[in-house]
Amino acid sequence: MKQLTIQSSQRNYPIVMEAGLRFHVKKWLNKKYSSILIITDDQIADKYLQDVAGSLDNEQIYSCIVPSGEASKSIEQYYKLQTKAIGSGLDRKSLIIALGGGVIGDLGGFVAATFMRGIDYIQMPTTILAHDSSVGGKVAINHESGKNLIGCFYPPAAVLYDTETLESLPYREVRSGYAEILKEGLISDNRLSEELLAFSLKQLSSDQLENHLEAGIKVKANIVEEDEKESGVRKYLNLGHTLGHALEATLGYGKITHGEAVANGMLFALHVSEDVKGVELPFNKLYNWMKINEYPIVDIEEERIAKLIKSMKSDKKSVSGHIQMVLLNKVGEPAVENLDDSSVEAYIRTYIERMKKL
């Protein structure tokens, strides 16, 4: 078992990583809850819902299963969950358990944050990507104009990561999660990113996965403890997300995974960084890594550029309509830059040209 504690303004909470943790959830509840609502999705419910429910001895346990996928981070699903919580008689002493990937964590966390002005919730991540989403208290739903535009900072009571659940993940979700681990490497540490970029995900062992998850969680934990509400260094966790989120929103939520979008966004961020900062970065290495590991490389067509720019301007980092991107001075040294629309447009065009030559 591995454990660390995150300090936040509202509470300190443990992150516990252990195989089989879903059978011992009760042990990690630090108070008696009047009722518990487990929120999960229809891919996870058959596999793990009964294990979690059976590990609790509460008399009032409810569950709600939403369709799997990014489209569920919607106002409609949010409202249905609130209706279920009200209908089940949840009160201020109730607990929500978000059992799933980042979609369930963000959605379930936002329901908990706003139900009766906020009740406790526990993150039980079941994807690799959710090593990132379950830590740090960002909870949200999407708007058609942009990702996570409706949300808040609301730390969980605990993060209980049963690494055994990752065994049932399809390869596409392994790949998706690794984009965020690579991001954590690129913003903090040359050694981790070098190791990952030389690595084929098809040969991943469970020991390597645990080490990478631990390394990623430590990067995330240090950053969110230093800057919980993203006024400074937390923005670095957005490397690859300015274009990544715009791709997700403009292609349609769920067309590509979040990690696939972030990988494409990081490639673009390295392209821009090389020019803005006058440095050489592992652009080709990242491109090759994405190819080897079968990340879709999004073709940006001319007619999509204007939509992408519009979407990038509605990103939460934007101030007064200026696009902000996280760039790299070098690997391990991120920096936030304001860019005007015309330069972003020009960079998209030079990026398209560069990609054609690869």
Ligand X SMILES: NC(=O)c1ccc[n+]([C@@H]2O[C@H](COP(=O)([O-])OP(=O)(O)OC[C@H]3O[C@@H](n4cnc5c(N)ncnc54)[C@H](O)[C@@H]3O)[C@@H](O)[C@H]2O)c1
- On whether the CB atoms of residues 244 and 261 are closer than 8 A, the answer is yes
Query: Which residues fall within 8 angstroms of residue 181, CB to CB, at 6 or more apart?
Result: 128, 131, 192, 196, 212, 213, 215, 216
- On whether the CB atoms of residues 246 and 311 are closer than 8 A, the answer is yes
At its nearest, how many Å lie between ligand X and the CB of residue 317? 14
Backbone angles phi and psi of 334, in degrees to 5: -80, 160
Residue 32 DSSP class: -
Residue 322 DSSP class: B
Q: Does 40 bind ligand X (CB under 6 A)?
A: no
Which of 253, 283 has the CB closer to ligand X? 253
Q: How far apart are CA 108 and CA 121, in angstroms?
A: 8
Please identify every residue annotated as catalytic. 117, 138, 180, 220, 230, 234, 238, 241, 245, 258
Annotated binding residue at 131? Answer: no
Annotated binding residue at 241? Answer: yes
Q: How far apart are CA 243 and CA 248, in angstroms?
A: 9
Q: Which does 238 bind (CB under 5 to 8 A by kind): ligand X, ligand LNCXM5UN, none?
A: ligand LNCXM5UN
Classify each residue of 11-22 as buried b or exposed e, where b means 16 or more C-beta atoms within 10 Å of its C-beta. eebebbbeeebb
Which of 96, 237 has the CB closer to ligand LNCXM5UN? 237
Which of 22, 183 has the CB closer to ligand LNCXM5UN? 183
Annotated binding residue at 147? Answer: yes
**How many beta carbons lie within 10 A of that of residue 167, not counting itself?**
10
Annotated binding residue at 258? Answer: yes
In the region spanning residues 78 to 107, those forming contacts with ligand LNCXM5UN, defined by CB under 6 A, are none
Annotated binding residue at 321? Answer: no
Identified binder of ligand X from the candidate list 63, 68, 123, 188, rule CB under 6 A: 68
Identified binder of ligand X from the candidate list 10, 50, 168, 338, rule CB under 6 A: 168
Identified binder of ligand LNCXM5UN from the candidate list 234, 259, 300, 334, rule CB under 6 A: 234
Torsion-angle region of residue 123: left (phi > 0), alpha (psi -120 to 50) or beta? beta
Q: Please give the single-letter amino acid code of residue 330.
A: K
In the region spanning residues 239 to 278, those forming contacts with ligand X, defined by CB under 6 A, are 257-258
- On whether the CB atoms of residues 222 and 313 are closer than 8 A, the answer is no
Identified binder of ligand LNCXM5UN from the candidate list 131, 175, 212, 241, rule CB under 6 A: 241
Which residues contact ligand X by CB under 6 A?
A: 41, 43-44, 68-70, 73, 100-104, 106, 126-127, 129-130, 132-133, 136, 138, 147-148, 165-166, 168-169, 173, 176, 180, 257-258
